[in-house]
Amino acid sequence: MRRIIFGAAAAVTLLAGGVRAGDDPVVVELFTSQGCSSCPPADEMLADLSRRDDVIALGLHVDYWDYIGWPDRFADQAYTSRQQHYAAEAGERTIYTPQFVVGGRRQVTGARPIELMDAIQAHEEAPEEVHVALEEGADGLWLTAPAAQAPRPMAIHLVHYQPESRVEIEAGENAGRTLTYANIVTSWEVLGEWDGSTPLRMQLPQGGGPGAVLVQATGHHGPGAILAAARLD
């Protein structure tokens, strides 16, 4: 595991599913980097999770290790910023790879698969606060949800990802390795806000490939809990 202080300035199978109080899948984000030698085991864990129906697995490649010899071809500063905001919300001053964030709530070091499984199970067993559905009509795809009580406004996020890519690493800590990545996030867009006082009905942009739509609470310093999610095939 490698850490960076952003205020001043990186064998368990995961295929078994759980029983969720509601129907929406659990969103599991992995902050990773091709330049981090500690990350490949966590990348494999994310690939296992990507095959589960009850999980939306998202690989977010950060850019703060690019300087050590190998620029990550999937890295985006926006994903580094998202990780920083999660850290600020949790009262932390450091960010590191690999790091999992489960449901926008629980932060887990990538080297702790048992803790990750426990976090996923806890999220699945928690009461559902918001339930979303996708409706397809002649005029496109719509995201819908009944009215819901929420302490803060919720943001509607649209995420697209590349299901898989094999990369030959030619320099840096992973030089000489060919690594496989799953559900690599390629775009992240906030479509709007919803306060839950009235039912939600929002038309989704067309195209973009596989992805997901997330309903995420707005925290005090950054993103809060992910209250609902739906997969886009």
Domain-wise residue ranges, the chain: 2-232
- For the beta carbon of residue 67, count every other beta carbon within 10 angstroms: 10
Task: State pLDDT tens for residues 178-226.
Answer: 999 999 999 999 999 999 999 999 999 988 899 999 999 998 888 999 9
Looking at domain 2-232, its CATH architecture is 3-Layer(aba) Sandwich (3.40)
Q: How far apart, in whole angstroms, are the C-alpha atoms of residue 192 and residue 133?
A: 17
pLDDT reported for residue 40? 98
Asked if residue 18 has pLDDT above 80, the reply is no
Give the predicted TM-score (pTM) of the model.
Answer: 0.91
Closest CA to 186 of 206, 156, 164: 164
Assess contact for 34 and 2: CB atoms under 8 A: no
Helix (H, G, I), strand (E, B) or coil at 181: strand
The residues that bridge with 136 in the sheet, in sequence order, are: 141
Residues 36-64 have pLDDT tens digits of 999 999 999 999 999 999 999 999 999 99
Interatomic CA distance for residues 183 and 24, integer angstroms: 18
